[in-house]
Structure 1
Amino acid sequence: MNHDTTSPAGANSVFSTHSVSGAPCWVTLTSRDLKATEEFYSAVLGWQWRPTRLGDHFRIALADGAPVAGIAAVAAMWQMAVAWTPYFAVASANEAVFRVQERGGTAAVGPLSIPPGRVALLADRDGATFGVWEGKLFTDWETWRRAQPAFIRLHTRDAFDAAIFYGEVLDWASGRPGCCEVQYEGDEVVLRSQGDVVARIESGALEAAPDPTIRPHWQVHFAVDDVAACVRAAELHGGSVLSKGSDEAVLRDPDGAQFTVTARRGRG
Structure 2
Amino acid sequence: MNHDTTRSSGATDVASTRSVFGAPCWVSLTSRDMQATEDFYHAVLGWEWRTAKLGDRFRIALQDGAPVAGIAGVATMWQVAVAWTPYFAVPSADEAASRARERGGTVAVGPLSFPPGRAALLADRDGATFGIWEGEFVGDWEAWLRVAPAFIKLHTRDAFDAAIFYGEVLEWATERQGCCEVHYEANEVVLRHRGEVVARISSGALEAAPDPTIRPHWQVHFAVSDVAGCAKTVEEHGGTVLRQGEEEAVLRDPDGAQFTVVLRPDPED
Partners of 2:129 and 2:71 lie apart in 1 by 16
Deviates more, 1:238-247 or 1:48-57: 48-57
After TM superposition, list the pairs within 5 Å mapping 1:24-43 onto structure 2: 24-43=24-43
Q: SS at 2:19's partner residue?
A: helix
> TM-score scaled to structure 1, two decimals?
0.91
Q: Deviations 1:47-76 (Å, cap 9, x if unpaired)?
A: 000013444432111111111111022323
Following superposition, the deviation at residue 146 of structure 1 comes to 1.1
Corresponding residue for residue 52 of structure 1: 52
Following superposition, the deviation at residue 115 of structure 1 comes to 1.7
**Letter paired with 1:182:** V
Partners of 1:249 and 1:121 lie apart in 2 by 27
Mark the CA change 1:122 to 1:266 in structure 2 (over 3 Å): closer, same or farther.
farther
Deviates more, 1:21-30 or 1:218-227: 218-227
Q: SS at 2:261's partner residue?
A: strand
Corresponding residue for residue 234 of structure 1: 234
Partners of 2:42 and 2:204 lie apart in 1 by 34
Corresponding residue for residue 73 of structure 1: 73
Corresponding residue for residue 167 of structure 2: 167
Identity percentage of aligned residues? 74
Query: In 2, are the aligned partners of 1:82 and 1:255 still within 8 Å (CA)?
Result: yes
Following superposition, the deviation at residue 183 of structure 1 comes to 0.6
Corresponding residue for residue 5 of structure 1: none
Partners of 1:92 and 1:141 lie apart in 2 by 18
Which ranges in structure 1 are unaligned for 5 or more consecutive residues?
1-10
1:257 equivalent in alignment to 2:262:
no
Higher relative contact order at CA 8 Å, sep ≥6: structure 1 or structure 2?
1
Following superposition, the deviation at residue 178 of structure 1 comes to 1.2
Following superposition, the deviation at residue 216 of structure 1 comes to 0.6
Corresponding residue for residue 212 of structure 1: 212
Corresponding residue for residue 106 of structure 2: 106
Q: Deviations 1:159-191 (Å, cap 9, x if unpaired)?
A: 000001101111111132111111101211000
Query: In 2, are the aligned partners of 1:13 and 1:138 still within 8 Å (CA)?
Result: no
Q: Deviations 1:215-239 (Å, cap 9, x if unpaired)?
A: 1110111111221121111111111
**Letter paired with 1:163:** A
Query: In 2, are the aligned partners of 1:160 and 1:189 still within 8 Å (CA)?
Result: yes
Corresponding residue for residue 7 of structure 1: none
Query: In 1, are the aligned partners of 2:69 and 2:148 still within 8 Å (CA)?
Result: no
Corresponding residue for residue 183 of structure 2: 183
Deviates more, 1:65-74 or 1:97-106: 65-74
Partners of 1:45 and 1:196 lie apart in 2 by 24
Corresponding residue for residue 17 of structure 1: 17
Q: SS at 1:17's partner residue?
A: coil
1:196 equivalent in alignment to 2:182:
no
Corresponding residue for residue 150 of structure 2: 150
Corresponding residue for residue 248 of structure 2: 248
Q: Give the alignment's Cα RMSD to 1 decimal.
A: 1.7
Following superposition, the deviation at residue 263 of structure 1 comes to 1.4
> TM-score scaled to structure 2, two decimals?
0.91
Following superposition, the deviation at residue 78 of structure 1 comes to 3.8
Partners of 2:265 and 2:194 lie apart in 1 by 16
**Letter paired with 1:24:** P
Query: In 2, are the aligned partners of 1:31 and 1:71 still within 8 Å (CA)?
Result: yes
Q: Deviations 1:3-49 (Å, cap 9, x if unpaired)?
A: xxxxxxxx998111123210000011011222221111011111000
